Amino acid sequence: MKVMIMGMDGYLGWPLSMHLSSRGHEVSGVDNLSRRKNVNETGSWSATPIKTMNERRIRYKEVSGKDLTFYRGDLVEPSFTDLVVKKEMPDCIVHLGEIPSAPYSMIDVDHCNYTQNNNIIGNNNILFAMKDHVPNCHLLKLGTMGEYGTPNLDIPEGFFEIEYRGRKDKLPYPRQPGSWYHLAKVHETWNIMFANKIWGLRATDVMQGVVHGVLTDDMETDDLITRFDFDEVWGTAINRFCAQAVVGHDVTPYGKGGQTRGYLALRDSMQCFTLAVENPPDETEYRVFNQFDETYSVNALAEIVSKVAKEYDLEGKIRNIPNPRLEAEKHRYEPDMKHLPALGFKPKFNLEDELRITLPKLIEYKDRIEAKRDKIKPKIFWSQ
């Protein structure tokens, strides 16, 4: 299958490119390298020293014998997006090419607008290019479980049956996003549903939980490793906790720590994406997958990181700190995850297993975390 990966240089895009290529797919990709620039702008860096796209592709060719085609450019430019889709004529587009940080979008009006413009317009350009050149192509689009927020109800996969004033209907489940970034994701979901309705574009909208881990089976050497961000802007809670444990800093959950989310190991996320790519929706179908393995509160995450850290003689002392975000700190969280298991998804790597791979790798790069340890403490506040 011809698969085009938007956001090929990113945390997920790079390992997925190698993974799909090693399964025999013909892989091309696009990136404007903005993630590297945006992380630099906030004064941080990846704990793992990542190679340039050219170096990565050359090294991958040396170890696998396979080529990865790469286009450097901005999906926000309609003519560029149109051109690359027309040139590649993919069977599947995996769209990961967005700005993925809630705190970044909350910095100020410029960062809010940059995030929303980048993500919503880039996504629109892909939809129009598909309509014009590959109307039968499958769009595998990365949304986030954060689109749903934390309702006091179970969370289905995209749609739910509702009865109101004696009438029943199947409707999109209400979205209650918690940042400008998450709001953009919700808007993209509406735009994809609309493109599906008017043009019959087929799409899988993946509501993905937080992905953790840094290595996959294709990373034979650290030249092929993916990025691992740990600062307040780009690092997820679990990444921050790992980095804090490695440099002997307290592990600091925000607020009361009851905030609960879905989590998924990087290697399991490769399995999920592969199943979705290789089992496309029917022509003209729009479907939603919730994608996670396990749910944890941030306190539970901190406890597990601390427990595994002790195996490596790291202290991992836990200390809750004031929450910079406005979010429920104790709530119900019961999302469904039925569609991927129905396609054969079986999680293989639980959080503790994955931490036993991630923490030793981070210990190798402890100096890089130490150099940016002042970037972990939160300075971006939702209410300011």
Ligand X SMILES: NC(=O)c1ccc[n+]([C@@H]2O[C@H](COP(=O)([O-])OP(=O)(O)OC[C@H]3O[C@@H](n4cnc5c(N)ncnc54)[C@H](O)[C@@H]3O)[C@@H](O)[C@H]2O)c1
φ/ψ of 337, rounded to 5, equals -150, 90
Q: 129 or 314: whose CB is closer to ligand X? A: 129
Tell me if residue 170 is catalytic. no
Quote the CA–CA distance of 208 and 264 in Å, as a whole number. 8
60, 148, 173, 185: the catalytic one is: 185
Q: State which residue, 12 or 127, has the beta carbon closest to ligand X.
A: 12
Helix 122-133 with 78-88: angle, nearest 10 deg: 40
Nearer to ligand X by Cβ, of 120 and 308: the residue is 120
Q: How far is the CB of 310 from ligand X (least distance, A)?
A: 25
CB of 53 to ligand X, least distance (A): 9
199: buried, middle or exposed (CB in 10 Å: 19+, 13-18, 0-12)? middle
Minimum distance, C-beta of residue 236 to ligand X, in the bound complex (Å): 6
Q: Pick the catalytic residue from 181, 254, 286, 296.
A: 181
CB of 168 to ligand X, least distance (A): 32
Q: Please compute, for residue 331, the number of CA atoms within 13 A of its CA located in the half-sphere on the CB side.
A: 18
**Which residues is 163 bridged to in the sheet?**
168
Q: Which is nearer to ligand X, 10 or 178 (CB)?
A: 10
Quote the least distance from Cβ 178 to ligand X, whole Å.
13
Q: How far is the CB of 40 from ligand X (least distance, A)?
A: 12
**32 or 297: CB nearest ligand X:** 32
In the complex, which residue's CB is closest to ligand X?
10
Instruction: Give me the catalytic one of 42, 81, 144, 150.
Output: 144
Binding site for ligand X (CB under 6 A): 7, 9-13, 30-35, 74-76, 96-100, 118, 122, 142, 144, 208, 210-211, 236
The Cα–Cα gap between 341 and 338 comes to 6
Q: Single out the residue of 76, 145, 144, 142 nearest to residue 114, CA to CA.
A: 76
Nearest distance in Å: CB 243, ligand X: 15
Is 181 catalytic? The answer is yes
Count of all residues that appear for the chain in the document = 384
Catalytic residues: 144, 181, 185
